[in-house]
Amino acid sequence: MPKSAAEPAARPMRADARRNYDRIVAAAETLVAEQGAEASLEEIARHAGVGSATLHRHFPSRQALLEAVFKGQVDVLCAKARDLLPDPDPGAALVTWLRAVCAHAVANRGLGASVMHGTRTRDGDPTLGSTCHAMITTAGDQLLDRAREVDAVRPGVTITHLLKLVGAIASATEEDPGGPAEADRLLDLAIDGVRAR
């Protein structure tokens, strides 16, 4: 429901609260990368240098914290896509971005799936998963459109196809000790299959 003009705007966070929020998100990013989406909230609070109550004041549920981590990382991937748009080699730009998406997915074991699954529950923002998905799809589609213009990809390839391939590769390699390198090799194979002949 839209806010009425009489309702006050949300107050900005105090500087110390903003610092705590940022430290919690940074600690969660690190521990999710190391341990997966089920990383201990208490350990995240310790790593951030805050108490458990502070963590829960900012993030009332695990889902809320994972959403903050996921949204921040999606913003980074979308910014990378924007930076690559003017690249003189659109095919190479698309491949560079897909590698970044794959590296993100491998490094953040289970994060995307956990957030997407969680948006079906009452804990989280019901629009976050679909909003992040739309952001990634739009960013990738712009790069794919440029690659199509120079015939760098096969006809009929969609960004959904490419993101599903990246997701499958990340899922298949996230438990491997050499996961990032194996993911990169598999991505090379997949990319070779979508290049125009």
Instruction: Give residue 129's pLDDT.
Output: 64
Helices then strands, counting H and E runs in the chain, come out as 9, 0
Average pLDDT rounded to a whole number, residues 152-164: 92
Average pLDDT rounded to a whole number, residues 3-25: 74
* DSSP 3-state of 37: coil
* CATH architecture classification, 10-59: Orthogonal Bundle (1.10)
Where are the domains positioned within the chain?
Answer: 10-59, 62-192
If pLDDT is split at 50, 70 and 90, which confidence band does 162 have?
A: very high
In this structure, whether the domain defined by 62-192 belongs to CATH 1.10.357.10 is answered with yes
Instruction: Give residue 68's pLDDT.
Output: 85
pLDDT at 83 over 70: yes
Residue 92 vs residue 14, higher pLDDT: 92
CA distance 156 to 45: 47
pLDDT at 48 over 50: yes
Average pLDDT rounded to a whole number, residues 53-61: 92
Average pLDDT rounded to a whole number, residues 60-73: 85
Exposure class string for 57-92: b at 16+ Cβ within 10 A, else e = ebbeebbbbbbbbbbebbeebbebbeebeeeeebbe
Torsions phi, psi for 92 (to 5 deg): -65, -35
pLDDT at 11 over 80: no
pLDDT tens digit sequence for 116-133: 544 433 444 455 567 778
End-to-end Cα distance, the chain: 52
Do the beta carbons of residue 52 and residue 41 sit within 8 Å? yes
